[in-house]
Chains A and B, each alone.
Chain A
Amino acid sequence: MRSRSREFDSSTLNESVQNTIMRDLKAVGKKFMHVLYPRKSNTLLRDWDLWGPLILCVTLALMLQRGSVDSEKDGGPQFAEVFVIVWFGAVTITLNSKLLGGNISFFQSLCVLGYCILPLTVAMLICRLVLLAEPGPINFMVRLFVVIVMFAWSIVASTAFLADSQPPNRKALAVYPVFLFYFVISWMILTFTPQ
């Protein structure tokens, strides 16, 4: 493919800064689109980057704060908690899949897992909006429904990319940690209540 073969010549050494920025931004945007419309696509995995996961992680951690941001005892530990859970969880899943003999590289797997947090970040946004309304069972049911739909979307998107890298009899073993990972994040989102 043209976009990858250009790396072989040293023209990228002399390209302008604007070209570099636009190239990276387009790559990140393309990956977000691939998560929203998951399809089996090998070409996406080749150009991995971790910018999307970083943006999503920071956004999610910011939205999961309890209490006001300006107070003395602000949600410091919670912010770091979300960060640690997301990245440590992603690293653990990657190690697990590599130990099971998957032929996906470390950073590719981190990339896929990070980008597939996008539906859950959208769910968090929706939940925060819904929580502005009257608390009650209907409120809870709406949030539950949204979180379940987005959780399913995340799982479908990530298995579309990750499952192919495993031999057939190991697919379930590789996929269930992904299930757990997104389950924990969904749980944090569902049980979130602003003070």
Chain B
Amino acid sequence: MLPQDSNDDAEDVSLFDAEEETVSRSTRSKIRHPVASFFHLFFRVSAIIVYLLCELLSSSFIACMVTIILLLSCDFWAVKNVTGRLMVGLRWWNHIDEDGKSHWVFESRKATSQENKSVSEAESRIFWLGLIACPVLWVIFAFSALFSFRVKWLAVVIMGVVLQGANLYGYIRCKVGSRKNLTSMATSYLGKQFLRQNTGDDQTS
């Protein structure tokens, strides 16, 4: 009986534990914070939609610009303070100490044995997907605004890139800080993918 999920290092694989394993796997793939997941994606996606459809939605440039700015700010605050905490247990902030020196603190929830505090895989996937895809889109918009000379949108687009890029950078550093370093994480991830594909091929053949 081969282990399907090589991530579960701590779980025993035996005939008696098979039932417990499937139960814990289903709770790990459930979404525990539907409201947070919804808002995580809602603000980002609606900012992009308003930007793309601004010509159709309203003839006023200012209304569109203010709306996008508000959505981007709400998204920044929500992702930094709420959805990161709830969905993946990570948080980052800046702290100024007595001497006036600024420190960036990257915090991740330590893996405890409490079942209800572990990270659900579905939420984690939603979180990282939203976090990575949107800044990439804003960078594409920035280049397109620059090269098609729609310069008046450049302020908004740059703001989008900066705010969403900052969250992306902060959370990647939180994530990487909890492992040893980036290269070992990348190689272990690629190794796992490789193993998973090979064991999958063995089973289907």
A74, B62: Cβ atoms closer than 8 Å:
yes
Contact of B100 among A4, A83, A84, A165 (CB under 8 A): A165
Min C-beta distance of B183 to chain A, whole Å: 27
A173 at the interface (CB under 8 A from B): no
- Residues from chain A with a CB closer than 8 A to the CB of B155 are 80, 83-84
Top 7 A-B residue pairs of the complex, sorted by shortest distance between their CB atoms = A76-B61, A105-B102, A46-B96, A80-B155, A20-B81, A79-B62, A103-B100
Q: Looking at the complex, which of A7-15, A115-123, A175-183 is the stretch in contact with chain B?
A: A7-15
Q: How many residues of A contact B (CB 8 A)?
A: 35
Q: How far is the CA of A156 from the CA of B196 in the complex (A)?
A: 65
Q: With A7-B105, A69-B62 in contact, do A76 and B82 touch (Cβ < 8 Å)?
A: no
B102, A70: Cβ atoms closer than 8 Å:
no
Q: Looking at the complex, which of B4-12, B16-24, B86-94, B130-138 is the stretch in contact with chain A?
A: B86-94
B85 at the interface (CB under 8 A from A): yes
B59 at the interface (CB under 8 A from A): yes
SS class, residues of chain A in contact with chain B = helix
22 contacts between A and B (CB under 8 A): A4-B95, A13-B89, A13-B91, A14-B85, A24-B81, A46-B96, A47-B96, A48-B96, A51-B77, A58-B69, A69-B60, A72-B59, A74-B60, A74-B61, A75-B62, A76-B61, A76-B62, A76-B152, A80-B154, A80-B156, A104-B100, A105-B101
A20, B152: Cβ atoms closer than 8 Å:
no
Contact of A54 among B59, B73, B82 (CB under 8 A): B73
- Residues from chain A with a CB closer than 8 A to the CB of B85 are 13-14
- Residues from chain B with a CB closer than 8 A to the CB of A107 are 94, 102
B66 at the interface (CB under 8 A from A): yes
> Which has the most chain A C-beta neighbours within 10 Å: B102, B105, B109?
B102
B65 at the interface (CB under 8 A from A): yes
Q: With A24-B77, A80-B152, A105-B100 in contact, do A70 and B107 touch (Cβ < 8 Å)?
A: no
Interface string of B37-74 (1 = CB under 8 A from A): 00000000000000000000001111101100100010
Q: How far is the CA of A69 from the CA of B81 in the complex (A)?
A: 34
Closest B residue to A4 by beta carbon equals B95
A62, B62: Cβ atoms closer than 8 Å:
yes
